[in-house]
Structure 1
Amino acid sequence: MEQQLRSEQISVRLLIFMFVIILSVLLIAIPQIVHSYQEYVKLHRSLVDIQNLRIFAETSNKISRERAPSNKAMAGSAEELPTRIKELQEYRISVNQQIDLTVRTLQQAGFPALAEQVDVQLRKDLDFGRKQVDAYIATPKQARKAIAMDQAIRNMFRAWDSCRAILQQLIIDSKRKNSEVTDYASIVLILADLRDQAGRVASNIMAPLSFAEPIPEYNKIRSLQTQEQVKYLWRLMDTIQPENLKTPKYLELHDQVKRRFIDQGLPIVNQLIEQSENNQPYALQANQVTDAMVDKFTSIVDLQSYLLEMHSLEAQRQMQSAQRQFFLILLISVLLLTVAFFTMVYTRKKLFEPLIQAQHMIEELSHIYERDHVDTVALKNKETHNLADAIHKLKAMLKQRDILEFQLKNIANTDSLSGVSNRLGLEAYLKNALAKPDQFQKLSLVVVDIDNFKSVNDQYGHILGDLVIVEIAQCLKVNISQSDLIVRFGGDEFLILIANSERNWIMQIAESILADVSRLQIDLPASSEKLKVSVSIGVATGAENWEDLFNQADESLFKAKAQGRNKVVG
């Protein structure tokens, strides 16, 4: 009886042992299967998202490029006008078709609110800009004025700005659904900005050029600032492009943008600005400038198309790799379970049951089992100890990874030359600010622009120019608290964001910065003379949103420049 009881106990323990082994395999396999499947779904979503972004980027490009036929129609002669109007109407049809495609794509991808924004708000803004262009074209030649043409051009700018805002919201919404979008979203946004800013370089001077009038200071400043923005975006794009995607083709196209647009296209506009300043006749007419610059834009479009294709292929490669890994893990897990199950069944039938049936060996087997059980417990304790060590090591590795990620994020958000934040840091700040609806009502913006910085670079070289930027950045740092944000917004422009401070205090800070910069004396190479620099400062306090706040500060900066520079206007 006792031997039968022991046999039943051994059988039960064997079943429990089999169940534990199979359960252990399941506990190991199921998380791996789930994780690999989730990774595959995430990467599949990434591919869908980048395809959505590609379509939207093409839409933004088409809207940006519509300014070319619009400008031609507005600047064309009476003989050219019918042809120009026909070209403009045909291009508008292609833009409308692209918008229709974008609306359908966003709806299918699960972005109904954005699809409605494109279908309603974007069309409304674009139609408004088109009506301004059409109204100008319908105006008799003798009644046309440069300021009216410039206003029509700026209304087309606003149409693209509306498109850009929706594109940015699409990127934000895509990131919420899938963090992998971060890898390529910045590239898409920068490329869209680069293409549009490139087009604005010439559009900013198109109106006075069409009337053979001197270029107003405001238009000149807009064009020059846009040029600096283009150069900044061009450099930034190369900075954030992953090294593994910097293929020979990418390097060729990147260099082509520099040669054809930056080295050849921008000097065309600068020559016209210089001719205006010297009261000389313009070397090119308005439509000639449009044709010349559009030809240079192809290098930017080619680079954009290539980069988007590269990131799409990379996303597809990663998705296929994740798919293969998922099926591999699933297959291995099934095999392990099958092997474990049949091994335990075989062990029970071929080994333990014959031993149990051998009554004369029950006592001996019982002793062996007890001895083995002790060894098993010891082994289990040893394995538990090793597992604890592994968990401890994993925690340490995760902690090191978090520290590294924090350091990398700080590096990515910091301008390497001046040590202040860059545009990525500004985007992160604004993203947090958007979570608080009244944040911008309590926010002050100070725009600091270095006066005549281009002449410093031209006369003394970029090394000294970099030193000027570093010294001015130091002046900004000593005048604000650590809780405030300094951003190097362009080559020679800084933004200071200060929260919860009175306007009078902000103006005092701006005046203090102006005074500190005026006291700077920078050693000139191989000379005992000192270089003195100055800045112009625009101040704005409180607004409904970031765009309004920035525009207010920007207008104040323009006033400071117009009043002779080295001024604070707020």
Structure 2
Amino acid sequence: MPLLARLRAASLDAKLIVGCGLMLLFSLALAVCLIGVFMKDYRRANDDLEALTYFGKVLNVANRISAERGPANSVLGEETAPDSQARRRLTQFRALSDEALDAVAPRSQGTRSGFPAGEVERVRSRLDQARETVDAAAALPKAARSGEIIQDAIRQMFDVVDISRPLITGTMAGIVAQDQSLAGQVMILQMLGDLREYAGRMGSHLATPIATRRPLSSADRDELRHTRGRLLQIWQVAEKQLELYASDAALNRALQDTGRLYFGDGLDFITELSAAGMQSGDYGVTAAQMTDRYVPTLQPLEQLRTTFLDIVSRQSRAERDAAWYWLQAVSVIIVLIVLTNLLLILLARRLVFRPLLRAREHVVALAEGREIEAAPGGFGGGEEMRELFGALDILRQRLRERRQLTARLKRQAETDGLTGLLNRRALDRIGQGDAEFADMPDEIGLILMDVDHFKAINDRHGHPAGDQVLREIAALTLETIRESDLAARYGGEEIALILPGASLETLVEIAERLRSGLERRRIEIGAGERITVTASLGVASGRRGPEAWEELLSAADGALYRAKAEGRNRVRRAADPGETVTAARVARVS
């Protein structure tokens, strides 16, 4: 039937629900779109902030390793003294480097998609090697430290920073892949980090000549000239880019301090030392003195990078907070709209449609003989409507009484009065695949149990005792089988068990458990007298259905017959008539 035709044929209540539901659905669709937009903005801004914070930590790794070279140069330029001020300072700077590495290590930072967390351990390993080289050189007497030994230690510290480049560039690539709008900011941060690194190298290039008191070689002059050119080139580009943020007072102060303290005092000091080194090996300062004077001029470079990172972090944080505010505001508005719609739907149904439609439901249900709940109070429509529902309630009560009587008669027709188990008629309906039991699997197992020498029990102790035995066996059966299994009195002293979906091994196990449980049970038959009863059991598996059921009954009955013929009080299965089933055998099967 076409949708339009089905809608026309629907009830008024259905049409009301469909109409209001469509309105609510469209509102929710719009709400989901709006929330999705603001949620995407919030997540992007939050991810940007986390990425920039992480990138700042990555840059700090290179910065701390670079700063560690200063006290290392001092230690390499002095006599061996484990307790010297330079040695203590080197220990402090190494701890700061380790702390910076720990801050970006996967165990503390977590795994970020697209970020080269595996590079951290590579940098740490290379740093440990460089430190060993520095310590080995510093352990030598100063007179035994050649320029090559000191230069090798310094170059290895340079190499650690170079090895950290993949960590920096990989992190930058991850940030740009996440949000391309951050490309310019992370490039500036990288330049500011490089600015500090090349400035530090200027001092390290002079550490070996000063420590060994030799003039600058042509290679030393080339390295100084190359590093200075690279330094000034980076500064020129970075200064130009930072003009975009000229409105920030803290950044302006950091720029002024950098120009005055480093590109003024610090670089001039390096120029003076370089000039002295070109003329002679008398620099006028030791390596430690050079470090103590030069390193403070590098602080504005670090402050410039930190200040710029604070600026971009504040921007990302402001974007995140704004997105979060709008996300919350839109969510609250949407919730109010949805609640208002739902309230209008409920009021319309309750005050307009519900009384009439409920009365119609009662009349139709009574006409069709269906059960229906009593009408609650509070319906509109005045006294007439209350009288109508009162009359309908009386009819409903009578219908329920009739159904309860019918259900009771049906239970009596399918239940054995003595044992409370299903009777033979119900068992056959199940086995033959009656539609009422369609939810049961077609594959079933069947256990037939016959009480041994039951006639002798009746003859010796009387029929009341026999009835008590059957009740006890029925109770034991219900205790033994599973919840999904069914038990029926098959006839006389025979009990049949249907086990849906059970394997033959499971059937044998349950049958043996039932047999042994009955054998151990002392049944009281009156006046304190107790007797022991045994039973023989036949087991078979098959399918439900008119023909299959008869075959299954025949197979289980044949197995039961063999159990009795072989001495009773035992279990036999149709699949293997020659097998003797014992408790130990059942335990192994299970």
| 1:192-211 map, 5 Å | 192-211=193-212
Residue 219 (structure 1) aligned with residue 202 (structure 2): no
| 1:138-153 map, 5 Å | 138-153=139-154
Give the counterpart letter for 1:52 in structure 2: Y
Give the counterpart letter for 2:335 in structure 1: V
- Bigger drift between 50-59 and 147-156 goes to 50-59
Q: Deviations over 1:312-367 (max 9, x none)?
A: 232222211111111111122223334455567778999999xxxxxxxxxxxxxx
CA 1:122–1:14: 2 relative to 1, 3 Å: same
Q: Deviations over 1:442-461 (max 9, x none)?
A: xxxxxxxxxxxxxxxxxxxx
The whole-number CA distance in structure 2 between the counterparts of 1:6 and 1:145 is: 101
Rg bigger for which structure?
2
Q: What is the number of residues matched between the two proteins?
A: 349
CA 1:177–1:88: 2 relative to 1, 3 Å: same
The whole-number CA distance in structure 1 between the counterparts of 2:348 and 2:243 is: 54
Shift of residue 172, structure 1, vs aligned partner? 2.0
CA 1:344–1:90: 2 relative to 1, 3 Å: closer
Q: Deviations over 1:346-392 (max 9, x none)?
A: 78999999xxxxxxxxxxxxxxxxxxxxxxxxxxxxxxxxxxxxxxx
Q: Please point out which of 35, 39, 57 is paired with 1:37.
A: 39
The whole-number CA distance in structure 1 between the counterparts of 2:9 and 2:117 is: 71
CA contact (8 A) 1:146 1:211 kept: yes
CA contact (8 A) 1:245 1:310 kept: no
CA 1:351–1:200: 2 relative to 1, 3 Å: same
CA 1:110–1:246: 2 relative to 1, 3 Å: same
Partner residue, 1:128: 129
Partner residue, 1:523: none
CA contact (8 A) 2:57 2:104 kept: yes
The whole-number CA distance in structure 2 between the counterparts of 1:51 and 1:228 is: 30
Structure 1 stretches lacking a partner, 5+ long: 354-570
Give the counterpart letter for 2:272 in structure 1: Q
CA 1:95–1:15: 2 relative to 1, 3 Å: closer
| 1:205-284 map, 5 Å | 205-241=206-242, 243=244, 246-279=247-280, 281-284=282-285
CA 1:239–1:346: 2 relative to 1, 3 Å: farther
| 1:282-361 map, 5 Å | 282-340=283-341
Shift of residue 68, structure 1, vs aligned partner? 0.5
The whole-number CA distance in structure 2 between the counterparts of 1:269 and 1:307 is: 26
SS in 2 for 1:66: helix
Partner residue, 2:442: none
| 1:103-114 map, 5 Å | 103=105, 107-110=109-112, 114=116
The whole-number CA distance in structure 1 between the counterparts of 2:18 and 2:81 is: 95
SS in 1 for 2:164: helix
Partner residue, 1:49: 51
The whole-number CA distance in structure 1 between the counterparts of 2:108 and 2:28 is: 40
Q: Deviations over 1:234-253 (max 9, x none)?
A: 33334444835741111011
CA 1:79–1:85: 2 relative to 1, 3 Å: closer
Residue 70 (structure 1) aligned with residue 72 (structure 2): yes
Shift of residue 261, structure 1, vs aligned partner? 0.3
CA contact (8 A) 2:78 2:142 kept: no
CA contact (8 A) 2:79 2:141 kept: no
Q: Please point out which of 96, 121, 138 is paired with 2:98.
A: 96
Shift of residue 49, structure 1, vs aligned partner? 2.0
Partner residue, 2:363: none
The whole-number CA distance in structure 1 between the counterparts of 2:236 and 2:115 is: 34
The whole-number CA distance in structure 2 between the counterparts of 1:242 and 1:275 is: 37
Partner residue, 1:161: 162
Partner residue, 1:483: none
The whole-number CA distance in structure 2 between the counterparts of 1:229 and 1:246 is: 28
Partner residue, 1:188: 189
Give the counterpart letter for 2:258 in structure 1: V
CA 1:29–1:146: 2 relative to 1, 3 Å: same
The whole-number CA distance in structure 2 between the counterparts of 1:209 and 1:113 is: 41
Q: Deviations over 1:185-213 (max 9, x none)?
A: 22332222121111001111221222232
Partner residue, 1:476: none
CA RMSD of aligned residues (A): 3.5
- Bigger drift between 88-97 and 296-305 goes to 88-97
Give the counterpart letter for 2:193 in structure 1: A
Shift of residue 64, structure 1, vs aligned partner? 0.8
Shift of residue 158, structure 1, vs aligned partner? 0.5
CA 1:323–1:241: 2 relative to 1, 3 Å: farther
Residue 26 (structure 1) aligned with residue 8 (structure 2): no
Q: Deviations over 1:93-117 (max 9, x none)?
A: 3322332333256542546984443
Q: Deviations over 1:61-81 (max 9, x none)?
A: 211111001100111246798
SS in 1 for 2:319: helix
CA 1:14–1:111: 2 relative to 1, 3 Å: closer
Give the counterpart letter for 1:215 in structure 2: L
Shift of residue 280, structure 1, vs aligned partner? 7.7
Q: Deviations over 1:248-292 (max 9, x none)?
A: 111011111011001221111122222333448434333222112
| 1:347-426 map, 5 Å | none
CA contact (8 A) 1:42 1:180 kept: no
Structure 2 stretches lacking a partner, 5+ long: 1-6, 355-590
CA contact (8 A) 1:74 1:149 kept: yes
| 1:461-480 map, 5 Å | none
CA contact (8 A) 1:71 1:153 kept: yes
CA contact (8 A) 2:77 2:142 kept: no
TM-score in terms of structure 2 length: 0.53
- Bigger drift between 310-319 and 277-286 goes to 277-286
The whole-number CA distance in structure 2 between the counterparts of 1:208 and 1:72 is: 13
CA 1:244–1:194: 2 relative to 1, 3 Å: closer
The whole-number CA distance in structure 1 between the counterparts of 2:182 and 2:107 is: 17
CA 1:112–1:248: 2 relative to 1, 3 Å: closer
The whole-number CA distance in structure 2 between the counterparts of 1:245 and 1:40 is: 27
CA contact (8 A) 1:257 1:299 kept: yes
- Bigger drift between 294-303 and 93-102 goes to 93-102
| 1:413-492 map, 5 Å | none
Partner residue, 2:391: none
SS in 2 for 1:215: coil
The whole-number CA distance in structure 2 between the counterparts of 1:78 and 1:317 is: 53
The whole-number CA distance in structure 1 between the counterparts of 2:217 and 2:247 is: 41
CA 1:106–1:53: 2 relative to 1, 3 Å: farther
CA contact (8 A) 1:198 1:230 kept: yes
- Bigger drift between 273-282 and 36-45 goes to 273-282
Give the counterpart letter for 1:44 in structure 2: N
SS in 1 for 2:105: helix
CA 1:162–1:288: 2 relative to 1, 3 Å: same
The whole-number CA distance in structure 1 between the counterparts of 2:119 and 2:55 is: 15
CA contact (8 A) 1:43 1:180 kept: no
Name the % identity. 21
- Bigger drift between 35-44 and 100-109 goes to 100-109
